[in-house]
């Protein structure tokens, strides 16, 4: 759907002025709604300050949003000498959202409210490197079962948000290439949408979904320039600049896992050699662990999954400890490179690998904190995400919700 410009040639000046007035009104309406979504519960004084709006304009917008049942009054803020102020919240029951995360061997599906809080979820496994058709059918079947189980109506669903690994064309809803899944040019939005008429489907990269959750529910409440790095089976990065995810030329910004750290190093699933992901994630355990196994006859390592290696390391297994130490050295250097490239306020670490962070976080910090900026007494915080695993699903839902409540001026052009 192409966005029509409201300021086409041939219009009289009066029409243009009325047109822009309408647009400004519309933009203010979304501004108010989104500040309530982000800072709820919030009173009028705070909204007016955040949106830079006068009392009468704000009153009009609040009445309108209340009548449309998009926001609700939820009591009053406690008095601190002055008058008590009414508090407003977003109406999370305005509709439902379906969120889907595609992983290497399973999909996780959830239905959420309009605050992106998970109401119910379901996991469905599949064989590694399954075809897109198989996985899409599992998604469709999973959505049907989840909606039915929770006794909800399809008319309540405002959209479906899908998160996947790989290079994604968000405008067209296409997974251009995912070397983890072994997929190329998969028109996933269209394939899913066919089965759910009129329900829009949105697609983005896993880590960007997690970062949307950080923006709306976590670090984004305080910071506008930060990075999110996910650690575990792979290595992901999302770049936040001025409260927005930076997408790059074709939407692929953040493939930091595929920057080269070892010349002629391990062959990566992406096709290159020596990628950071091969050294600073579970892949390192699989590559290096197998090489070293014969030198450690007493090692109890049975597999090279992240959590298995971490557990054995905690029990004192020498090989496991060596692998963790070396992996975290590469990770620390990778994060140092990120800090030097982006000068972020903070770097948030997330992902399943962080469940075992006590084994490596100190070492990673030691390396990452020794960077270009630290020598000029500028410190960069390295923090563990405070969100839990449901943040991925929240992110999938936020893809949909943010799109619905995006001010018209920011609407992206769909080709
Ligand atoms: Zn690679």
Q: At what angle do helices 318-342 and 306-314 cross, to 10 degrees?
A: 120
Which pLDDT belongs to residue 312?
Answer: 97
Least confident of 25-39, 69-83, 232-246: 69-83
For residue 277, the CA-to-ligand 1 centroid distance in Å is 7
Give the mean pLDDT of 166-175: 95
% of the chain with per-residue pLDDT over 70: 93
Compute, in angstroms, the gap from residue 275 CA to the centroid of ligand 1.
5
Buried b (16+ CB within 10 A) or exposed e, 29-46: bbbbbbbbbbebbbebeb
Q: How far apart are CA 206 and CA 178, in angstroms?
A: 12
Q: Say how far apart CA 201 and CA 92 lie, in whole Å.
A: 20
So what's the pLDDT on residue 18? Answer: 63
Tell me the pLDDT band of 172, cut-offs 50, 70 and 90: very high
pLDDT at residue 415, rounded to an integer: 39
pLDDT at 310 over 90: yes
Q: What is the pLDDT of residue 23?
A: 85
For residue 141, is pLDDT > 60? yes
Q: Does residue 14 register a pLDDT over 70?
A: no
Note the pLDDT of residue 3. Answer: 40
**Does residue 408 or residue 330 have the better pLDDT?**
330
Distance of CA 96 from the midpoint of ligand 1 (Å):
37
Distance in Å, CA 284 to ligand 1 centroid? 12
CA of 258 to the centre of ligand 1 (A): 4
pLDDT at 198 (0 to 100): 82
pLDDT band at residue 85 using 50, 70 and 90 as cut-offs: confident
Going from the Cα of 214 to the center of ligand 1, the distance in angstroms, rounded, reads 26
In angstroms, how far is CA 165 from the centroid of its own chain? 12
At 2 the pLDDT is 38
Distance 260 CA to ligand 1 centre (A): 8
Cross-strand partners of 231: 235
Token pair in block for residue 299: 């090692």
Ligand 1 geometric centre to CA of 5 (Å): 41
Task: Give the closest residue to 112 by CA, choosing from 407, 352, 387, 390.
Answer: 390
- Position 9 scores a pLDDT of 44
Q: Which residues surround ligand 1, an ion (CB under 5 A)?
A: 258, 268, 270, 272, 275
pLDDT of residue 6: 39
Is the predicted pLDDT of residue 5 greater than 60, yes or no? Answer: no
State the distance from the centre of ligand 1 to the C-alpha of 257, rounded, in angstroms.
6
Phi, psi (5° rounding) for residue 142? Answer: -65, -40
pLDDT digits (tens, 9 = 90+) for 17-30: 666 888 888 899 99
Distance 278 CA to ligand 1 centre (A): 7
Q: What is the pLDDT of residue 409?
A: 62
Distance 344 CA to ligand 1 centre (A): 24
Q: How far is the CA of 78 from the centre of ligand 1 (A)?
A: 54
Mean pLDDT to the nearest integer, 52-81 = 88
CA 329 / ligand 1 centre spacing (Å): 18
| E strands, 41-182, in order | 42-43, 71-77, 85-90, 96-102, 106-112, 118-125, 157-164, 167-169, 174-178
Q: Which of 1-10, 339-348, 377-386, 390-399 has the lowest mean pLDDT?
A: 1-10
Residue 12 has pLDDT above 80, yes or no: no
CA of 54 to the centre of ligand 1 (A): 52
Domains and CATH numbers, the chain: 13-90 (1.10.10.10), 94-211+391-410 (3.30.420.40), 220-386 (3.30.420.40)
**In b/e form, how buried is each residue of 120-132, taking b as 16+ CB within 10 angstroms?**
ebeeeebeeebeb
Ligand 1 center–CA 160 separation, angstroms: 29
Q: What are phi and psi of 265, to 5 degrees?
A: -80, -160
Distance from the CA of 269 to the center of ligand 1, in angstroms?
Answer: 6
Say what percent of the chain tops pLDDT 90. Answer: 84
Mean pLDDT in residue range 294-317: 96
Q: How far does residue 226's CA lie from ligand 1's centre (Å)?
A: 23
Contacts of 415 (CB under 8 A, 6+ apart): 2, 171, 172
pLDDT tops 70 at residue 331: yes
CB atoms within 10 A of CB 85: 15
| Mean pLDDT on 193-222 | 93
Bridge partner list, 125: 106
Q: Which pLDDT value is given to residue 220?
A: 84
| pLDDT for res 7 | 39
Distance 253 CA to ligand 1 centre (A): 14
- CA 266 to ligand 1 center in whole angstroms: 9
How far is ligand 1, taken at its centre, from the CA of residue 350, in Å?
A: 20
Q: How far is the CA of 270 from the centre of ligand 1 (A)?
A: 4
| Cα 415 to ligand 1 centroid, rounded to whole Å | 29
pLDDT at 111 over 70: yes
Mean pLDDT of the chain: 91
Q: How far is the CA of 414 from the centre of ligand 1 (A)?
A: 30
Query: What confidence score (pLDDT) does residue 351 get?
Result: 94
Q: How far apart are CA 151 and CA 154, in angstroms?
A: 10
CA of 170 to the centre of ligand 1 (A): 22
Paired strand residues for 175: 168, 186
pLDDT at 264 over 70: yes
Centre of ligand 1 to C-alpha 57, Å, is 52
């Amino acid at each position: 759907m192409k966005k029509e410009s409201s300021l086409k040639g041939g219009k009289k000046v009066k029409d243009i002025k009325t047109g822009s007035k309408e647009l400004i009104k519309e933009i203010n309406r979304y501004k108010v709604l989104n500040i309530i979504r982000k800072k709820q519960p919030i009173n009028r004084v705070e909204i007016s300050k955040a949106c830079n709006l006068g009392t009468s304009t704000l009153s009009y917008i609040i009445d309108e949003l209340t009548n449309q049942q998009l926001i609700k009054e939820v009591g009053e803020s406690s008095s601190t000498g002055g008058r008590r102020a009414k508090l407003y919240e977003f109406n999370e029951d305005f509709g439902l959202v379906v969120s889907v995360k595609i992983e290497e061997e399973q999909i996780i599906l959830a239905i959420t409210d309009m605050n992106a809080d998970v109401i119910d979820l379901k996991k469905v496994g599949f064989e590694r490197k399954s075809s897109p058709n198989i996985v899409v059918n599992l998604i469709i079947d999973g959505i049907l079962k989840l909606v039915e189980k929770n006794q909800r109506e399809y008319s309540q669903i405002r959209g479906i948000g899908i998160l996947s690994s790989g290079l994604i064309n968000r405008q067209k809803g296409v997974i251009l290439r995912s070397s983890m899944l072994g997929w190329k040019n998969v028109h996933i939005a269209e394939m899913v949408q066919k089965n759910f008429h009129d329900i829009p489907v949105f697609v983005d990269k896993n880590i960007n979904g997690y970062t949307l959750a950080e923006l709306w529910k976590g670090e984004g409440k305080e910071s506008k320039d930060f990075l999110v790095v996910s650690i575990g089976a792979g290595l992901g990065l999302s770049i936040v600049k001025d409260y927005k995810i930076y997408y790059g030329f074709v939407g692929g910004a953040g493939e930091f896992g595929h920057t080269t750290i070892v010349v002629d190093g391990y062959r990566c699933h992406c096709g290159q050699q020596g990628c950071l992901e091969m050294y600073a994630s579970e892949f390192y355990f699989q590559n290096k662990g197998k090489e070293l196994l014969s030198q450690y006859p007493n090692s109890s390592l049975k597999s090279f999954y992240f959590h298995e290696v971490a557990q054995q390391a905690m029990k004192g297994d020498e090989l496991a400890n060596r692998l963790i130490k070396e992996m975290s050295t590469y990770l620390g250097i990778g994060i140092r490179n990120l800090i030097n490239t982006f000068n972020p306020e903070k770097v948030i670490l997330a992902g399943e690998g962080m469940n075992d962070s006590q084994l490596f976080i100190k070492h990673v910090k030691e390396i990452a904190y020794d960077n270009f900026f630290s020598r000029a007494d500028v410190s960069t915080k390295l923090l563990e995400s405070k969100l839990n695993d449901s943040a991925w699903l929240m992110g999938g839902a936020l893809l949909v919700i943010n799109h619905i409540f995006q001010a018209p001026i920011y609407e992206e052009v769909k080709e």
